Copies of this chain bind each other. A is one copy, B any other.
Amino acid sequence: MGDVLAPSFEGDFTFATEAPFPVAGGALQPVTQRYALYGELGARRDNVVLVCHALSGSARIADWWPELIGPGRPLDTARFCVLGINVLGSCYGSTGPRSLNPQTNRPYGGDFPTVRIADMVRAQARLLDHLEVDQLHAVVGGSIGGMQALSWAVQFPDRVPRCLAIGAAPLNAMALALSHLQRVAIRSDPKWRQGEYPPDDPPAAGLALARGLAMCSYKSAQLFQERFGRRPNRSSERPAERLADRFDVGGYLDHQGNGFVGRFDANSYLIVSKAQDTFDFGEPEEERIALGRIAGQVTTIGIASDWLFPPEDVRDLTARMRAAGARADYFELPSTHGHDGFLADMDRLAPLLAAALC
C-alpha cells in the first residue's frame, strides 16, 4: 500500500425500522437514520469506529473533522470503517420534527417527542445490529457526540472496548441557563407558531438569536477579545452614535445566526438542545451504578478554555468513573478556542484521538 490511499469506500445510507421506538417524550414510528461510511467494513466486521456528531453536525464526519479522517490520519480509513450517524431529532436525514407523523400525516413539528441522548444511542445500536456489527472498535465524539460516546459505554458495555468523549459531561447550571434561553428565543418568536411553521417561513429571528448565544458559549472570552476586541463592525458602523450600529463581535454573531437559519431547523434545534440538557446518569448512586457498567477503556478530554463544559466537570466525571470501577483516563486539550476547541484545534486533538484508537 502507498503512503496515501483514497478512502476505499464512502457513502450515505438510510436505515429505517417500522417498529415503535420509545423515546423520553413518547414514541417514534417509523425510525429512519441517515448514516455515512468511510473506509471498508472488514470481513469480521470488527473495524468500525463510530464517530458521533455534535448539536448541529451531521453523519458526514469529513464535513466537520476533515483533518482527522482519511488514510493515515487518526480516523484511518485504510484501517477502520468510520461510521457517522445523524442523531434522532436532527434535520440531516434521520427522523426529526420535519418527518411525517404517521398519526396525522403531517410533519411532527412541535409534536415531536423529546429525545434523550440515551434514546439516540439505542437507535444507533439498532443500526449496528442491522449492519451486523456486534462490537465496535471504538466510539468517539465531542460535545453531545461525547455524551453519546459515554452513553454507548454505559448502555452497551460489551460493544464498546474503547470510548473517547471530548468536552462532554452533564451540563452545569450556567450551561443549562444559556441553553434554556436559546430555546426561549425560538419559542417566543411568533413565527415559531408552536412548532407548526411552514418550511419557507421559519422562526428565523429566534433561531438566529439562539445560534448567536450558542456561539458565545462555544467560544472563549480570550478568543473573542483577540479576534474582535472593541472594534466597530466592518462597513463603517458607528456603535456609539446609532442604536442599530454594532461592534465587530455583534456583526459576527448576527452573521453566524443568520447563516444558521438556512441550514438548520428550529424544531430540531429545540429537540437536540433539550437532549443535550437532559444528559446525565441520574442521582449519585444511580450514576455510580451506571458508570460501573462500563467495560472498555474510556478516555475523556477536557478543553482548557471551555466554559460551557468546563474541563473540571469532565475531570470530575472521569474521577467518578474510576471510583465506580471503570478504566478511565483524563487529558486536557490545550486550546484558547473554548468548547469549539475540539473542532478548531484538530492538530492538537489528532495525537489524543490516535492514542485512544490504539
Contact = CB atoms under 8 A, between A and B. Distances in A.
Copies in the complex: 2
Given A25-B242, A243-B270, A253-B180, A280 B230 contact: yes
A213 interface: yes
Contacts of A102: none
Q: How large is the interface on A (under 10, 10 to 19, 20 to 34, 35 or more residues)?
A: 35 or more
B230 A176 contact: yes
Most buried by B among A178, A240, A271: A240
Among A116, A176, A190, the one with the most B-chain Cβ atoms within 10 Å of its Cβ is A176
Interface in A210-253: 212-213, 216, 219-221, 224-225, 227-230, 239-244, 246-250, 253
Given A212-B184, A249-B180, A280-B230, A240 B114 contact: yes
Interface in A165-205: 170-174, 176-178, 180-181, 183-185, 187-190, 205
Given A224-B173, A225-B172, A230-B280, A247 B184 contact: no
B116 A307 contact: no
Contacts of A288: none
A76 interface: no
Interface string A237-281: 001111110111110011000000000000000110010011010
B212 A253 contact: no
A323 interface: no
B230 A174 contact: no
Which residue among A116, A213, A219, A243 has the maximum number of chain B CB atoms within 10 Å of its CB?
A243
Sort A-B residue pairs by CB-CB distance and give the 4 closest, nearest first.
Answer: A180-B250, A173-B224, A174-B221, A188-B205
Given A172-B225, A176-B230, A178-B216, 10 more contacts: A172-B221, A173-B229, A173-B248, A173-B249, A177-B253, A181-B253, A184-B212, A185-B209, A221-B307, A240-B278
